[in-house]
Chain A
């Protein structure tokens, strides 16, 4: 039996108790939380932290918080914003606690990449065939690797903007940054990504 179906079978229905004889609107169940949000939380944490085990720790921490506080949410947009905030905060706290990698150590090799003939890299990109709507596994792995290699302060903004699709103002609120700083870091992150990925586009070129 798959983990998901196991949870579905044993899920707790976290409905609010009746008040004044009238039931409150049904809320999410633990089953729904697991189905709808576990992978999303895991992905955000995995891409921010770059480690499977760390991502699992954060996912568990956030899932338990979600299930404990389900009754406090009534609107999907409110819940979605909160979910991002809790996950980002947990990932940032985890990173601080572990202090595995200093930003200086991470940024040096990437700075070197940027300095390496970015112009010719961009030309290689434009001469290759446009990407397909579905990325093949090789390209996915290359992109994930490039994300992991980003310095954390750029990676956070990049993941939230270009992968999670959050607006700059919301990212600024999550990371306690001004919008100009968000834009600056996002631009820098995209240049890093381009420098890292450009050489590989020719390799996966078709035709």
Chain B
């Protein structure tokens, strides 16, 4: 297996989407090729970082405006009722 072939299968390898034989071939290559082993490691690391990224706190002033919009909806019940009935 070449490094180019390894790179083409990287995503499937990391996702566990390869068949058993293909997976063994890539594992063998990664054991023998530090560059491709590093490719796997860094790719998995990027995925983990995405999972670790916390939610952004919306700006307080934005929350205030969103609150006001919900309250405005509360004060216009007829609009809500019309919308409700149109969805049924």
Contacts and interface: CB of A to CB of B under 8 A. Distances in A.
**Do most interface residues of chain A lie in helix, strand or loop, or is the interface mixed?**
helix
A123 to B, nearest CB: 5
Contacts, number: 144
A34 B66 contact: yes
A150 B17 CA distance: 25
A63 B58 CA distance: 14
A125 B45 contact: yes
Nearest to A16: B84
A140 B53 contact: yes
Nearest to B63: A3
Nearest to B12: A183
Interface size class of A (residues with CB under 8 A): 35 or more
Contacts of B1: none
Interface size class of B (residues with CB under 8 A): 35 or more
Nearest to B41: A126
B49 A135 contact: yes
Interface string A97-126: 000000000000000000000010111011
A133 interface: yes
Contacts of B57: 39
A100 to B, nearest CB: 19
A34 B67 contact: yes
Q: Which 4 A-B pairs have the closest CB atoms?
A: A162-B50, A125-B42, A122-B42, A3-B63
28 contacts: A2-B63, A3-B64, A3-B67, A10-B74, A30-B73, A34-B70, A38-B58, A39-B55, A59-B62, A63-B66, A63-B69, A64-B69, A67-B70, A68-B84, A69-B84, A71-B84, A72-B87, A121-B42, A122-B41, A123-B38, A123-B42, A126-B37, A126-B45, A131-B49, A133-B52, A187-B10, A194-B43, A194-B46
Interface of A: 2-4, 6-7, 10-12, 14, 30, 33-34, 38-40, 42-43, 46-47, 52, 55-56, 59-60, 63-64, 67-69, 71-72, 119, 121-123, 125-126, 130-131, 133-135, 139-140, 143-144, 158, 162-163, 165, 183, 186-187, 190, 193-194, 197-198
